């Protein structure tokens, strides 16, 4: 096939690359061998070197195998960005296990569904999340829960003060430890310190099950192999070629439980033996302070993050000139934001495109070559992309069709869902469900989404899941959930409600109902009551019509 985009590759970026066939965790072993004393992690005043990160990950791997846990078993991780999240991730991979990431904001019903679906035997969670875990883990295949605390990796003085802070913020949770609910430090204490003798087939063995809405809107687990993740890590590193191995610093504000943050912040940093400045939760003031103090060279993020920085009242007080590269993902990047952020930092911020099923990045604009505002850029090395009609035939340049992708980063399928896998993967191509067009230079533009996923502040929200919660309310007759434009989040969630005859419910009651059953980012920010919801001739609610409806005065 013709690849017009190759003409716009910088000289420093190869069109193809020989990706090593290895366990993804080999990145950590290699960096620890070459740069043992380099800082791998900075976390609230405490630094961990690559030697220490490797040793801790090996301890975790051996502790898993001593449970006992067989190779290929699933290990669930429910943590914000903290040292334990990195240790558990690489430790599980060194043990030959499959990592399953879970959003720490999940409510019990969401967590229970995913644990049952993946069949995880072990769950690693933060102590303040244990009340959620405690409600569901015994109703799943989980046999052991490893509980850790933010204080486990704080400097001594901060560790002493942490319980006081936790009590003041209402986060002082008491965990009743048992033979199957174990504290993190005790779990690692007696583990062997020798590297486990584990062999994986990088091309077929799964390293990560990452939940996504896929191309149909129903959450399912994308199966990503070691080679999928190794390839995408190196592809993204090749693209940001100015960053130097052993010297780069990554501001890790993107959550590692999201595959975007996992690849461009954690995996890439470890591949480059760079330092990760870990941020458990995005706070604009804290981010500005960290950039000013630690001078990171890479700051992958979402448009929402960059907008918050640009609008901060004390922005002029901070020096952000260390930033060389920012990859913006998860939502469209406004051109105005790109321009202002580059003027501020003198670095480069580019928009890319990806999806969980592709580990996740497939396209990106150039950092220093040709860029086209409004486009998602050109395909990564070894990545092919086409725009096709409903029959799978290529459409002419400039015409709209479905974006399909092929490359070493594309998943093996969905966990335990052969029908959905066959629908998404056809003849080696991933059908993305996104409508796009390609111009004569090989730059791609996303025009619309076939799937109904709402992307708010970088998080994927699936309308059907929110609708199901609202349908459980006694007063709701019909509901439709759509994404509507939002200056800050890109999109936000709006619910249209028709109540049952003779019944009334307030917006506040619906809001509280949703907050009790959904993660906060999924809760509708707007509710509108209608006498009738628009429907097609066959009775299907017309979400598109609702999304374009102006809010009633």
User: What would the pLDDT profile of 92-135 be if each residue is shown by its tens digit?
Assistant: 999 999 999 999 999 999 999 999 999 999 999 999 999 999 99
328 near 351, Cβ under 8 Å?
Answer: yes
Domains delineated in the chain: 1-23+227-406+428-451 (3.40.50.12780), 27-36+47-199 (3.40.50.980), 454-547 (3.30.300.30)
**Distance (Å, whole) CA 328 – CA 364:** 9
At 2, the pLDDT band (50, 70, 90 cuts) reads confident
Average pLDDT of the residues of the chain: 92
Percent above pLDDT 70 for the chain: 95
Q: What are the tokens at 265?
A: 């912040």
b/e sequence 238-251, b meaning 16+ C-beta within 10 Å: bbbeebeeeebbbb
**Distance (Å, whole) CA 426 – CA 405:** 10
User: What would the pLDDT profile of 180-234 be if each residue is shown by its tens digit?
Assistant: 999 999 999 999 999 999 999 999 999 999 998 654 556 799 999 999 999 999 9
**Distance (Å, whole) CA 25 – CA 181:** 27
Q: Residue 493 above 50 pLDDT?
A: yes
At 306, the pLDDT band (50, 70, 90 cuts) reads very high
| Secondary structure of residue 3 in the 3-state scheme | coil
**Distance (Å, whole) CA 76 – CA 100:** 5
Cis peptide before 68 (omega within 30 of 0): yes
Q: Residue 552 above 50 pLDDT?
A: no
* Dihedral (Cα; 127, 129, 132, 138), 10-degree rounding: -40
Q: Residue 245 above 70 pLDDT?
A: yes
Q: What's the mean pLDDT in 386-415? A: 96
**Cα torsion 424, 425, 430, 436: sign:** negative
Q: What's the mean pLDDT in 238-248? A: 97
Q: Residue 494 above 60 pLDDT?
A: yes
């Amino acid at each position: 096939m013709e690849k017009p985009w190759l003409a716009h590759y910088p000289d420093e970026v190869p069109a193809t690359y020989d990706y090593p066939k290895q366990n993804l965790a080999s990145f950590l072993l290699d960096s620890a061998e070459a740069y043992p004393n380099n800082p791998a992690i900075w976390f609230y005043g405490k630094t961990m070197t690559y030697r220490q990160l490797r040793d801790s990950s090996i301890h975790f791997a051996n502790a898993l195998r001593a449970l006992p846990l067989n190779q290929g078993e699933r290990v669930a991780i429910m943590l914000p960005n903290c040292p334990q999240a990195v240790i558990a991730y690489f430790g599980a991979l060194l043990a030959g296990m499959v990592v399953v990431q879970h959003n720490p904001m999940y409510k019990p019903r969401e967590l229970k569904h995913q644990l049952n679906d993946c069949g995880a035997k072990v769950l690693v969670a933060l102590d303040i999340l244990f009340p959620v875990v405690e409600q569901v883990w015994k109703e799943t295949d989980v046999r052991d829960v490893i509980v850790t605390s933010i204080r486990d990796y704080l400097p001594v003085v901060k560790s002493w003060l942490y319980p006081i802070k936790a009590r003041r913020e209402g986060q002082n949770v008491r965990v009743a430890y048992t033979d199957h609910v174990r504290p993190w430090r005790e779990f690692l204490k007696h583990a062997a310190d020798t590297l486990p003798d584990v062999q994986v087939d990088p091309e077929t063995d799964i390293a990560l099950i990452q939940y996504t809405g896929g191309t149909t809107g129903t959450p399912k687990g994308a199966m990503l192999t070691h080679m999928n993740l190794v390839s995408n890590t190196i592809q993204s590193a090749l693209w940001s070629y100015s960053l130097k191995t052993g010297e780069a610093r990554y501001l890790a504000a993107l959550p590692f439980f999201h595959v975007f943050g996992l690849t461009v912040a954690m995996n890439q940093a470890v591949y480059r033996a760079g330092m990760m400045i870990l941020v458990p939760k995005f706070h604009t003031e804290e981010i500005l302070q960290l950039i000013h103090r630690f001078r990171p060279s890479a700051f992958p993020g979402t448009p929402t993050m960059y907008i918050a920085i640009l609008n901060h009242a004390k922005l002029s007080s901070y020096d952000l000139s260390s930033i060389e590269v920012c990859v913006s993902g998860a939502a469209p990047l406004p051109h105005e934001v790109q321009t202002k952020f580059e003027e501020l930092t003198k670095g480069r911020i580019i928009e890319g495109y990806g999806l969980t099923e592709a580990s996740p990045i497939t396209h990106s604009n150039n950092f220093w070559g040709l860029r086209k505002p409004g486009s998602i850029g050109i395909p990564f090395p070894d990545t092919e992309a086409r725009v096709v009609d409903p029959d799978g035939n290529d459409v002419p340049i400039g015409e709209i069709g479905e974006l399909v992708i092929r490359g070493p980063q594309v998943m093996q399928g969905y966990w335990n869902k052969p029908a959905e896998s066959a629908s998404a993967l056809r003849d080696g191509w991933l059908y993305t469900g996104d409508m796009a067009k390609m111009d004569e230079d090989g730059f791609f533009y996303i025009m619309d989404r076939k799937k109904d996923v709402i992307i708010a502040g970088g998080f994927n929200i699936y309308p059907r899941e929110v609708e199901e919660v609202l349908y459980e309310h006694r007063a709701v007759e019909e509901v439709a959930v759509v994404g509507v434009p939002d200056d800050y989040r890109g999109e936000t969630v709006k619910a249209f409600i028709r109540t049952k005859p003779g019944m009334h419910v307030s917006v506040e009651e619906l809001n509280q109902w949703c907050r009790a059953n959904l993660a906060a980012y999924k809760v509708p920010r707007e509710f509108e009551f209608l006498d009738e919801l628009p429907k097609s001739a066959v009775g299907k609610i017309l979400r598109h019509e609702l999304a374009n409806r102006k809010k009633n005065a």
